Structure 1
Amino acid sequence: MRLDKFLKLSRLVKRRTVAQEMAEIGAVRLNGRQCKPSAEVRGGDTVEVAYPRRVLSVKVENADEAALKRGAAAYSVIEEKQVSQDEKPW
């Protein structure tokens, strides 16, 4: 599944266009690397999302679109750390 679609279906980001913009500016990393919105997400991958005040690291549990639409658990949280507004997470 595409990264932007996973972020939207897992409810980490509210809109797919916002997920695409976040990936393009480098606020999303897949397995520690900056990537495009079209990058392929698979089960077991690590996704890091930099929000304005925090960085959330999650492990992908389920990357099946149909299962996510039915409400299956998409991820488990690995780490969540707070970041000051002045600090750039990456």
Structure 2
Amino acid sequence: MRLDKYLKVSRLIKRRTLAKQIADKGRIEVNDRTAKSATEVKVGDQITIHYGDRTVRIKVLALNLIAKKNEAQDLYQRLD
């Protein structure tokens, strides 16, 4: 699954276009490598998102094309 799609489905970022913009600015890393929006995400990958002064680290637990609001948090585990 594409990184921007995963971030939107998991509700870590509200809109896919915003996820794409953040990734294209080099503020997202997958497995400690700077990632673009089209980077393929797999179960077990670690994603780091730099939001200004804050950094969020997660581990991918599942990939779903659609996730309801209450299911979105089951797609990842926070590592902070």
Alignment of 1:7-86 (within 5 A): 7-66=7-66, 69-70=67-68, 71=71, 73-79=74-80
TM-score by length of 2: 0.89
In the TM superposition, what whole-angstrom CA distance separates every residue of 1:36-68 from its partner, at most 9, and x where no partner exists?
1011101100000001221000000011214xx
Aligned length: 77
Distance 1:24 1:76 in 2: 24
- Higher radius of gyration, 1 or 2: 1
Q: % of aligned pairs identical?
A: 39
- Higher relative CO (Cα under 8 Å, sequence separation at least 6) belongs to 2
Q: What root-mean-square deviation, in Å, do the aligned CA atoms of Structure 1 and Structure 2 show?
A: 1.1
Q: List runs of 5+ in structure 2 lacking aligned partners.
A: none
**Segments of 4+ moved more than 4 angstroms:** none
* Contact 2:9–2:64 (Cα < 8 Å) also in 1: no
TM-score by length of 1: 0.80
Q: List runs of 5+ in structure 1 lacking aligned partners.
A: 80-90
